[in-house]
Amino acid sequence: MGDLLIRNISDALKRDIAAAADRTGRSLSDEAKELLRKGLVAESDIKPVEESAYDVLRAAMADYLMTDEEHAEFMAGIEESRKSDLGRPGFEFE
């Protein structure tokens, strides 16, 4: 990882970043990195896409040419397996 040195930051700007860091519980450095990242995203033509786990898995399974019903059954099977006792005695999922 590299370092970045930013010179001649006004005291007011540094105070604002420090105040934001206090509010979020981040270090001054981590808060500055987060603010830079947010600024780059805001200026970018590419916006982050928030997809559900269902959408991500559906796209990943596209090569299998599953119908929506088949995919729903597949997802239900995953959920059922997740809730199973996995062979452990005394395990109950509520």
E strand or H helix at 57: helix 53-60
pLDDT of residue 83: 74
pTM of the model: 0.47
pLDDT of residue 58: 73
Mean pLDDT value across the chain: 81
Q: How much is the average pLDDT of 35-58?
A: 77
Tell me the percentage of the chain whose pLDDT exceeds 70. 84
Domain map of the chain by residue range?
Answer: 11-43, 53-83
Contact 36, 21 (CB under 8 A): no
Alpha helices in 1-94 (DSSP H): 11-24, 28-43, 53-60, 68-83
Q: How much is the average pLDDT of 38-50?
A: 75
